[in-house]
Structures are given as structure tokens and as C-alpha cells.
Amino acid sequence: MLDVRLTPLERNGWQVLRMLRSAEGISPLANLGQLRRYLTSTSLGQRAGYETAWRVLVVLRLTGWISLVGQPATL
């Protein structure tokens, strides 16, 4: 998580995807609306915008981090 290409928002998005994955390595998030709920910047605030959620997913894909969500954790 020390990748300088990722902003705190993208790190948070990756951690959300990683935290919610099942034992099979599959994320239960079915749509962007569900991810938006976890990317809000204030507690009990509004959901993050669709553009914000899309940007998080695009950056995670471009940097290769999205492919690591299903991998087992290593120390």
C-alpha cells in the first residue's frame, strides 16, 4: 500500500474490496452504488459520486491493484 500512484481514496477503495471479498476471493459488491457507500468522505454523509467510484476502479485496474484483491495476504 506504499504505491505512490494511489491516493488515500484509492487505497480505501482497495481495502474495501479486499475486506468484503469472500473466501473464494470474490467481492460481493454487485454494483457501483454499493461501492459508493464505502467511499464517502464523512461519516453518515452522502454517498460518493459515481465519478469518484469509477475513478477508484479505473486507477486500481490501471495500476494492477484490482487483480490483487483475491490474492491471499502476505506479510
Q: How many CB atoms lie within 10 A of CB 66?
A: 18
d(CA 3, CA 18): 16
How many domains is the chain built from? 1
Domain that holds residue 39: 8-68
pLDDT the model gives residue 75? 47
pLDDT tens digit string along 15-64?
888 888 776 666 677 678 888 888 887 777 788 889 988 998 888 888 88
Answering whether pTM is above 0.75, one says: no
Grid cell 454499493 is found at: 34
Residue 2 lies in a domain: no
Residue 54 lies in a domain: yes
